[in-house]
């Protein structure tokens, strides 16, 4: 029988994404949570808690913070940091790749394949488990891949593959 750590899926993440999770966890544990605990403690000393907004809101916020701390801790424990800058030079697409694409409609697009905790569509960061990334993974520069999307099938040409820092 496998342990919980072994059965937990790997959380591939870039160094920048890993640091962002660590920074958020640190902020919650050492800044936000102690501040909320202080407010709740103060509010509890003011008498009737059933109608005390500071107390009720503070307790609810503490539960949210504790839930997020547990989530971040688990994500960091399962993290497998993959640095695209140290990857050997290849034209094949793996986690951490920055890929220039030519879409079927003639538009060019650049996507960066990142971890699920780093998705940012405004910066063209897509999860390695997304449909687009899944059809790109293991393909090579110059290949055509087929994306089965909600609007049907689309053929996409891979123009360039590079491994660089992803911010």
pLDDT digits (tens, 9 = 90+) for 52-73: 888 999 999 999 999 999 999 9
| Secondary structure (3-state) at 80 | strand
Assigned domain for 28 exists: yes
The reply to whether 99 and 117 lie within a common domain is yes
Residues 63, 49: Cα–Cα separation, whole Å:
17
Q: In the numeric block, which tokens belong to residue 115?
A: 């971890």
The reply to whether 106 and 90 lie within a common domain is yes
Rounded-to-5 percentages of helix, strand, coil across the chain: 45, 25, 35
| pLDDT value, residue 50 | 77
pLDDT tens for 112-166 read 999 999 999 999 999 999 999 999 999 999 999 999 988 899 999 999 999 999 8
Element (H, E) at 74: helix 53-77
Q: In the numeric block, which tokens belong to residue 80?
A: 């497998």
Assigned domain for 128 exists: yes
Element (H, E) at 18: helix 15-27
- Do 62 and 38 touch, CB atoms closer than 8 A? no
pLDDT tens for 79-120 read 999 999 999 889 999 999 999 999 999 999 999 999 999 999
Q: Which of 81, 116, 132 is the last residue of a domain?
A: 81
Q: CATH number, domain at 30? A: 1.10.287.180
Full residue range of the structural domain in which residue 25 is found? 11-81
Number of domains in the chain: 2
Q: CATH number, domain at 132? A: 3.10.50.30
The reply to whether 97 and 152 lie within a common domain is yes
Beta pairing, strands 152-162 & 79-81: unpaired
Q: Which of 81, 99, 120 is the last residue of a domain?
A: 81
| pLDDT value, residue 7 | 57
Which DSSP category does 91 fall into? S
In the chain, what's the furthest Cα-to-Cα distance? 71
| pLDDT value, residue 89 | 86
* pTM value surpassing 0.85: no
The reply to whether 104 and 128 lie within a common domain is yes
The reply to whether 68 and 115 lie within a common domain is no
Assigned domain for 27 exists: yes
Residues 8, 74: Cα–Cα separation, whole Å:
9
Q: Which of 66, 81, 96 is the last residue of a domain?
A: 81
């Amino acid at each position: 029988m496998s342990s919980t750590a072994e059965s937990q899926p790997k959380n591939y993440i870039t160094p920048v994404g890993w640091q962002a999770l660590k920074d958020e966890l640190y902020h919650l544990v050492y800044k936000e949570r102690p501040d909320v605990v202080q407010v709740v403690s103060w509010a509890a000393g003011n008498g009737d808690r059933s109608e005390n907004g500071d107390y009720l809101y503070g307790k609810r916020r503490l539960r949210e913070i504790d839930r997020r701390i547990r989530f971040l801790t688990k994500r960091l424990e399962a993290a497998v940091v993959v640095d695209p800058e140290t990857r050997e030079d290849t034209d094949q697409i793996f986690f951490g790749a920055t890929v220039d694409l030519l879409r079927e409609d003639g538009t060019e697009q650049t996507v960066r394949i990142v971890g699920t905790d780093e998705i940012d569509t405004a910066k063209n960061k897509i999860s390695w488990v997304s449909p687009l990334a899944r059809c790109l993974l293991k393909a090579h520069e110059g290949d055509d891949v087929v994306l089965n999307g909600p609007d049907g099938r689309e053929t996409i040409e891979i123009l360039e593959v590079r491994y660089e820092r992803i911010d």
